[in-house]
A and B are shown apart, each in its own frame.
Chain A
Amino acid sequence: MEVHFAQRRGALAAGLVTVACVLLAGCSATGSKAGIGTPPAIIYKNDTTPLMVKRGDAGEGHFPPVAVPANLAAGESTAYSFALNIPGIPGGSLMSFGWGDMSTERAQSNGNLDEVLFADASEMKILGIFTRTKVKAYGHPKAPQLAGAEAE
């Protein structure tokens, strides 16, 4: 009887660990599924990874050289999520909220970029509860007269 109880307790603990790890550190909790995912961190994470490089007309799987201008400009876009992913609280992931626009288009607009040459993605996560994900796009700045004409 004792062995049976110990087995059940062990299985329950193992299950909780699995659920906690998946919720806190798994792919679904990282926020950024593009580019390369850095190793997950359960307590605190703040890192930046490559997201994209401009793909030319050379075809799939081949990236032509990308010349970076001296006046390289940058734009950011941000999204947030808040989730009660606390180990031991069943259904915690159901109590989650997400908002924001971290699209490359938004970053391009915020940075007033004419063309995005490459982009990075950064993620700041605290205990899997609060996550801030940013896209940082880099590229050619818009010419002043062109930017003015679009504003009109």
Chain B
Amino acid sequence: MRSGFRLAACVFSLVAATLVSGCVIAPVMPPRGLIYTDQKAPLFPGGEDGSKVGKSSAHSVLFLVGWGDSGMKKAMENGGIQEIRHSDYRVENYFLFYQRYTTIVYGE
């Protein structure tokens, strides 16, 4: 019986790690946390920041439903940016219940 629990725990960890990690192709991807994650990292790194910041977000609840526009265009619109100089991304995970991905664009 105990081995069954161990197996279930291993499978849960594997699945959770797969779900949380997603498919990231970015210059830097810090290690994610299963219970809590709040990390920022470069997305399209530029040589300089700008005076304006625009953000756009996509959300997911319980890995069941996902929605939102976290695209570059939306972030630029939200920040009133006409020149992209640098961009970061932010990943948040709250105990696998809620995840948010945010694109952050810096520019003028």
Contact = CB atoms under 8 A, between A and B. Distances in A.
Interface of A: 3, 6-7, 10-11, 14-15, 17-18, 21-22, 25-27, 30, 32-50, 52-53, 58, 61-68, 70, 74, 118-122, 136, 138
A16 B73 CA distance: 39
A53 B44 contact: yes
Most chain B CB inside 10 Å of its own CB: which residue of A10, A58, A74:
A10
B85 to A, nearest CB: 5
Nearest to B84: A66
Q: Is the interface of A mostly helix, strand, loop or mixed?
A: mixed
Contacts of B60: 38-41, 45
A50 B103 contact: yes
Given A14-B8, A39-B66, A64 B46 contact: yes
B60 to A, nearest CB: 4
Contact of A120 (B3, B23, B71, B101): B71
Given A21-B18, A50-B72, A50-B103, 12 more contacts: A7-B1, A17-B15, A25-B18, A36-B22, A37-B23, A38-B22, A39-B19, A39-B60, A45-B66, A48-B58, A50-B43, A65-B46
A78 B84 CA distance: 26
Contacts of A17: 11, 15
Contacts, number: 169
B23 A30 contact: yes
B83 A65 contact: yes
Interface in B31-51: 43-48
14 contacts: A7-B3, A25-B63, A30-B23, A33-B25, A36-B70, A39-B22, A44-B67, A45-B67, A47-B59, A65-B48, A68-B82, A68-B84, A74-B73, A120-B72
B76 interface: yes
A138 B75 CA distance: 14
Interface string B1-12: 101100110011
B83 A66 contact: yes
Nearest to A123: B66
Interface string B66-92: 111111111010000111111101000
